[in-house]
Structure formats: C-alpha cells, structure tokens
Amino acid sequence: MDKLIKLFEDVARLWSKYSSFYLDGMKNTLILALVATAIGCVIGLVCGVLNTIPYSKNDNIIKRFFLALIRVLVRIYVEVFRGTPMVLQAVFIFYGLPYFTDNAMRFDDLWTAAILIVSINTGAYMAESVRGGIISIDPGQTEGAKAIGMTHVQTMTNVILPQALRNIMPQIGNNFIINVKDTSVMFIIGFTEFFAFHRYITGVNMLYFPSAAIEMIGYLTMTLLASFLLRWVEKLMDGSSSYELVQVDSLTMSAGNYSHPGKPFAEQNKEKKHLFRGRKRGEQDE
C-alpha cells in the first residue's frame, strides 16, 4: 500500500513538472501515427489494386509483361518491408540516404523522415490487406457489374472497392493502433514522440517506474480512444439496419393523387383524399 501511495506521489510529481512534455509527446505520436497510417493506406490501396488487375493469355504481350512486372515489384516491396524491423528500416533509410548520396539527400526535417518510414512500413502491410479485401469479395459481384457493361475500373470503383474497404476497416484500425505504439522506435532517429520524452525525463531524474506508468496509461488511452472511434466509423459505414418502405412511389403520385380545389368537385375530393389515406395506411399493393 505504501508503495502504491509512493507511486501516486511520484507520478503526480512527474506530471506536475513534465506534463507539457508528455502531452507534447502524445500529440506528436498521434499525428505521426495518423498521417503515416493514412499515407500507408493510400500506398496499400494503390499496390493492392494494381496487384489484382486481371490478365489472361489472350491479352497482348505488353500488357501482360507490365502487369507481371508490377506484381513482382509489389511482392518485393511487401516482403522486404514486412520482413524487417521498423527500427532498422528507420536507421537504414535515415542514415543510408546521406551515406549513398554524399549528403546530397538527407533529412533536414525529422517529421519527413519519420512519416516516410512509418508510411512505407504500413503500406507494405496494407498492400496485402487490400489485396485480401478485394479477392474476398464474391466473384458474383464482379460478374454482375460486367454483365451490365462496366469496365474493370468502373467495377472496381463502384462495386468492389467500397465493399473491400468496408471489410478491411478492422485491418486499418489494427494498423493505426500498431502505429501508435510502434512509432516509439522513432526515438532512434531522434524523433520526439511520446516514448522519447520518457527517455529524456528519466535521464534527468531516474524515476523510471513512475514515468513508465504514465507512459502505459498514455498509450492505453490513445489506443482505446482509437478502438472506440473505429467501431463508430464501421457502424457509420454499415448504414441503417432498417429501411423505409416507399408506399406510394413518385410516379403514381404525380398523376393520380392530385385533387383540384373548387366547389363542383368538393364531394369527390373528400372521397379521393379518403381513398388516398386508406391506401397509404393499407398494405402495399402488388
């Protein structure tokens, strides 16, 4: 119990002194994760879509060659960036570019470097998710679209991708949450995200455990918030679970239910209105 009280005291002390650092770190972490996930999704979407363009033996050789080439390139990209640790990729790219170009190309801005590295990494995972999302859609959907004369692009944009994107939403959320946590390795290139401040603060006062407690709570808050938001977005995408019956459709309305104001037809009008109401309330007609 004493220990817990002491922990609370230490946490409170740290927080009162360094809260602006922690909050700043959280802000940086969230921005980096959000931007990099978004860019990663775009990269993944492009790779996934390019990767699933169908081709058959009947297509001409140039088209087949290019599509095969694209598939190989995407495959290499995915395998390399999915198969190596992000912390190493960060070092590799951040120090590798100036090394190879004799400092002609280097990152003056840590944000650019961090966003680039995390985006490329996310894109590799998303490429596979998008591909999976596209091939998981029932082939009947494609056939239905083709049967009314849609081209491959039209089929993709109007029918397949909206459904595929809905299906990979949990995967996008997964990647975002992973990014919130895994951007912590960006301290290696000096990027000041949430975890980097932990290293900085504990370097000054040695309160490792209380600071780690703050970090744990901070990360958990961010990821729980993200989970909650993602569920909400998914619900929005699903649309309403019920639908309105349109009892009287617009075409019959325009001609049939007009009642002329005026005396001679007063009686008739009443009757018509009555009929109309009865029809609206009654069951839908065949």
Partner 1 sequence: MSEQILEVKHLSKNFGKNQVLKDIDFTVNKGDTISIIGASGSGKSTLLRCINLLETPTAGEIWYRGKNVADRKVKAHEYRSHVGMVFQSFNLFNNLTVLENCIVGQRKVLKKSKQEAKETAMYYLDKVGMAPYINARPRQLSGGQKQRVAIARALAMNPEVLLFDEPTSALDPEMVGEVLAVMQQLAQEGMTMLVVTHEMAFARDVSSRVVYMNDGVICEQGSPADVFGNPQKQETKDFLARFRNT
Residues 6+ apart with CB under 8 A from 185: 85, 86, 87, 90
Alpha carbon distance 257, 247 (integer Å): 13
Q: Could you say whether residue 149 binds partner 1 (CB under 8 A)?
A: yes
Closest CA to 187 of 120, 119, 113: 113
Residue selected from 102, 108, 267, 286 as contacting partner 1 according to rule CB under 8 A: 286
Alpha carbon distance 120, 48 (integer Å): 14
Q: Could you say whether residue 254 binds partner 1 (CB under 8 A)?
A: no
Q: Could you say whether residue 151 binds partner 1 (CB under 8 A)?
A: yes
Residue selected from 203, 251, 278, 282 as contacting partner 1 according to rule CB under 8 A: 251
Site for partner 1 in 100-139 (CB under 8 A): 138
Q: What is the DSSP letter of 264?
A: T
Cβ 230 to partner 1, closest distance in Å? 19
Q: Could you say whether residue 163 binds partner 1 (CB under 8 A)?
A: yes
Q: Could you say whether residue 167 binds partner 1 (CB under 8 A)?
A: no
Site string for partner 1, 220-249 (x = CB under 8 A): -------------------x--xxxxxx-x
Secondary element (H or E) of residue 202: helix 194-205
Distance of CA 285 to the CA centre of its chain: 44
Task: Round to the nearest angstrom and report the end-to-end CA distance of the chain.
Answer: 75
Residue selected from 159, 188, 213, 230 as contacting partner 1 according to rule CB under 8 A: 159
**How many CB atoms sit inside 10 A of residue 175's CB?**
24
Q: Which is nearer to partner 1, 163 or 227 (CB)?
A: 163
- Tokens 């087949």 correspond to 64
Q: Could you say whether residue 250 binds partner 1 (CB under 8 A)?
A: yes
Closest CA to 234 of 148, 174, 157: 174
Q: Which is nearer to partner 1, 148 or 236 (CB)?
A: 148
Alpha carbon distance 82, 60 (integer Å): 33
Cβ 61 to partner 1, closest distance in Å? 13
Pure H helices in 104-138: 110-135
- Using left for φ > 0, alpha for ψ between -120 and 50, and beta otherwise, residue 284 falls in beta
Site for partner 1 in 47-106 (CB under 8 A): 56, 58
Cβ 143 to partner 1, closest distance in Å? 6
Q: Could you say whether residue 146 binds partner 1 (CB under 8 A)?
A: yes
Q: Are 101 and 196 in contact (CB under 8 A)?
A: no
Q: Which is nearer to partner 1, 16 or 250 (CB)?
A: 250
Quick one: which segment of 45-53, 73-81, 88-96, 142-150 binds partner 1 (CB under 8 A)? 142-150
Q: Which is nearer to partner 1, 107 or 276 (CB)?
A: 276
Q: Which is nearer to partner 1, 152 or 181 (CB)?
A: 152
Chain residues in the site for partner 1 (CB under 8 A): 56, 58, 138, 140-141, 143-151, 154, 158-159, 162-163, 166, 239, 242-247, 249-252, 284, 286
